[in-house]
Structure 1
Amino acid sequence: MSQARKTAGQGAQLLTDVGPVIVFILFYNVGRNFVGDAAIYWATGAFMLATTAALAFAAIVQKRFPPMLVVTAVIVLSFGGLTIWLQDPIFVYIKPTIINLIFSFAILISFAFGFNVWKAIFGSVFHLPERIWWILAIRWSLFFQFLALLNELLWRHINDSIVPESARWFAALSWNESLWANMKLGVMAITFAFAMANIPILLRHQIEDEEKSADRPGSP
């Protein structure tokens, strides 16, 4: 595969991963100026459509079904549908918590079966020793739990929605729904920074093609 095609493929993959989040943020912020508090429902509907489009693009154009995108799509459509149907934003507030916990526990549960789901997902991209795959899987599992905790901290202290006082963890904390919605950009930045922080271990332990070939039986 040429470098140009590879770069284009990576760009398309990035678009399917972050595109729906950008759509949500845009619809939410623009919608606040026109429909006020109902913006969360318009943004949720747009997010559902964008996620469905991203999954369709991955399946039809890229000929792949990214497991993380599939799981995300199922949760987004389920909780988004409940949000719009019941006119209750709590469902969309807790959606990131559910998604991140599913990712985290999928990794941890796979360990119980002697299987590394993180390697299964990314093994075609990186070639690493088993020990490094386990380290990366544990790191990402803990990171997903951190994101789940962060989302809980954010939505539980929204002060201009229907979040009950009983849901609050800290009485001194209070912010509006816009912070929670726009923090999705912050979460993307945090995730990118965490991924970059793991680059050194990937580069240091990457197994080159020549080394893999030399390990094969019958190799000269």
Structure 2
Amino acid sequence: MRPVSPVLKSTLEYGPLLVFFAVFMLLRDRTVAVAGRELSGFVFATLVFVPMLVASTLALWALTRRLSVMQVMTLVLVVVFGGLSVWLNDPRFFKMKPTMIYLLFAGLLGLSLGLRRNWLGAVLGDAVPLRPEGWRALTLRLTGLFVALAVVNEVVWRTQSDSVWVSFKTFGLPVLMVLFFVANAGLFTRYAAGDSETGAGRD
């Protein structure tokens, strides 16, 4: 993988989401005419977000010549569910997109556990070297996290306003992911590859 500036990488990864948030906040109480159709501010923000994410993902690939499986699956689901929201002028499809992504990730990780395959390590092994038992523990915990995030997303978008959901999507979900990895710092230390510890204790 080619080296890329961390600032540029973060901009490409999170820029489209921040633009979505900004456009929504600007137009949340308005409608926008596009090709003779009246779109809500939410749907118009989705219309802006989808091609931006496609462009930023292609730029990441051009710079690094590598995309993770999660990035590819996320892009596909964003295009599908975002496209449905724009086509049908219905924000519900885009709101369901995180649920589908998290359930898909949970299903794949659960399947890897059942098949005794280290798919997570194949994706993250270069960045987080762990012993096999560490990868199994992390896979199990991430599976639970993704199921929980799917449930939380469903509760938020079905019970809260568009503004609350957009803020939750833009800031809440990334913060929850960061907190998860911080909370599991002990696991990374205990099961670090090359560590002589047995890792038999609980984290």
Sort the TM-score into its range (normalised by shorter chain): 0.7 to 0.9
CA-CA distance at 1:208 after TM superposition: 5.2
Q: Does 1:180 align with 2:165?
A: yes
Q: Is the 8 A contact 2:130 2:193 kept in 1?
A: yes
What pairs up with 1:1-220 in 2 under 5 angstroms?
9-32=5-28, 34-35=30-31, 38-157=40-159, 175-184=160-169, 185-207=171-193
Change in CA separation of 1:206 and 1:11 when aligned onto 2, cut-off 3 Å: farther
* Counterpart residue identity of residue 192, structure 1: V
Residue 97 of structure 1 contacts residue 152 of structure 1 at CA under 8 Å; is this kept in 2? yes
1:34 Cα offset (Å):
4.7
**Shift in CA distance, 80/188, structure 1 to aligned 2, threshold 3 Å:** same
Alpha-carbon distance in structure 2 between the residues aligned to 1:105 and 1:97: 12
Displacement of 1:33 after TM fit?
5.4
Q: Return the alpha-carbon distance in structure 1 between the equivalents of residues 116 and 138 of structure 2.
A: 15
TM-score, structure 2 as length reference? 0.84
- Partners of 1:140 and 1:128 in 2: CA distance: 15
Q: State percent identity of aligned pairs.
A: 29
**TM norm structure 1:** 0.78
**CA deviation after TM superposition for structure 1 residue 45, in Å:** 1.3
1:68 is displaced (CA, Å) by 0.9
Indicate conservation of the 8 Å contact 1:83/1:89, yes or no. yes
Against the structure 1 CA distance between its residues 12 and 135, is the aligned structure 2 distance closer, same or farther, given a 3 Å change threshold? farther
Gaps spanning 5+ residues in structure 1: where? 158-174, 212-220
Letter in 1 for 2:82: G
- CA distance in 2: counterparts of 1:114 and 1:15, whole angstroms: 36
Q: Which residue of 1 aligns with 2:36?
A: none
Q: CA RMSD in A?
A: 2.3
CA contact under 8 A between 2:21 and 2:166: conserved in structure 1?
A: yes
Higher relative contact order (CA 8 A, sep 6+): 2
Q: Would you say the 8 A contact 2:156–2:165 is kept in 1?
A: yes
Bigger Rg, structure 1 or 2: 1
CA 1:145 to 1:12, structure 2 compared with 1: closer, same or farther past 3 Å?
A: farther
Aligned residues of 2:13 and 2:57 also touching (Cα < 8 A): no
Shift of 1:201: 2.0
User: Is 2:77–2:101's contact at 8 Å kept on the other side of the alignment?
Assistant: yes
Query: Any conservation in 2 of the 1:20–1:51 contact (CA below 8 Å)?
Result: yes
CA contact (8 A) 1:58 1:66 kept: no
SS in 1 for 2:40: helix
Q: Please, which runs of 5 or more residues in structure 2 have no aligned partner?
A: 33-38, 197-203
